[in-house]
Amino acid sequence: MIDLLQIAMNLLTMNALLIAVFALAVPTALAYDEKYDKIDVDKILGDDAMFTAYINCMLDKGECTQEHSADFRKLLPEVIATSCAKCNAIQKQNVRKTVKALSEKRPDDFVAFRAKFDPKGEYEKDFTAFVMGTD
């Protein structure tokens, strides 16, 4: 009888441990890496050559040589489709700032972005609301 009780207690302890590990892992799996928080978006937006390099990478017009640009090209479809759902507050601010700058400073490239990443306009309403919003 004691052996069965001990086995049951061990199983409960293991299940509790697994649940705790899973609970700790889920937030990181559902969020983008914090390394992107350290990017100086103002510096990029203020440097035409650097901004162009990022744009060219995203639009497959050039190499992805700028910091994290290859990552951004991979993440951008999801960011647009989900209106930055996995972004933390800093990332949301940076995405908003970048999209606004792109639409104002480079309208032709903005049109190309929309054509590439949302060709059917499926996400336009929600993503525009996200870009114009605050939180």
pLDDT tens column, 12-44? 444 433 333 333 433 445 789 999 999 999 999
100 and 77 in one domain?
yes
Q: How many structural domains are present in the chain?
A: 2
72 and 97 in one domain?
yes
39 and 21 in one domain?
no
Domain ranges, residue 87: 31-132
41 and 23 in one domain?
no
25 and 35 in one domain?
no
What pLDDT score was predicted for residue 135? Answer: 76
What pLDDT score was predicted for residue 4? Answer: 52
Spatial separation of the C-alpha atoms in residues 10 and 17, rounded to whole Å = 10
